[in-house]
Amino acid sequence: MTTYNHTITGGGTVGHPGNVPRPYMVQSRIFDAADQNLSANDVVQMIDVPDNTIVIGGCLDVLEAGGSGLTYDVGLSTDIDAFADGVDGNADAIYQFNLKAAGINTVIAADAIQVKALGAGVTAGRFRVIAIMCDIGTGPKQT
């Protein structure tokens, strides 16, 4: 049996090596439906996601209830409910999302994290999105 070492040279095993991508947090502006009413199925682009990025996780933070029958989807243009599907828009709550097995968290072409209003129009309510992302476009030098 042969053991092959395919680890990154200089990567180290203690602490956080200096030659690896680092996740970062992005917080959207607060969307206030009192300023811009939403009809059912309207979509609000909340956070720009650069190409070659992975969305590791995040949350939809409903700061003010939007009304009875209102639900939200959170996702990307390729899958609008990739991160959250039908969460209650009539409750002040935080809805967390994380990595999905199907790889839909990986963005090859620039996109945006979007929130879609479902079920009812929104004339009240406020929300924001917080995301943890990481650039996956440039990895370690290939040898």
With beta carbons less than 8 A apart as the criterion, state whether 21 and 136 touch: yes
Which pTM value belongs to this model?
0.82
Confidence band for 14, pLDDT divided at 50, 70 and 90:
low
Distance CA 71, CA 90 (A): 7
Closest CA to 131 of 103, 99, 87: 99
With beta carbons less than 8 A apart as the criterion, state whether 74 and 60 touch: yes
Confidence band for 139, pLDDT divided at 50, 70 and 90:
low
> pLDDT (tens digit, 9 = 90+) per residue, 35-73?
888 888 889 999 999 999 999 999 999 999 988 888 999
Q: What is the mean pLDDT of residues 4-13?
A: 54
| Mean pLDDT across the chain | 83
List all residues 6 or more positions away from 122 whose beta carbon is below 8 Å from its beta carbon: 33, 37, 38, 42, 66, 67, 70, 89
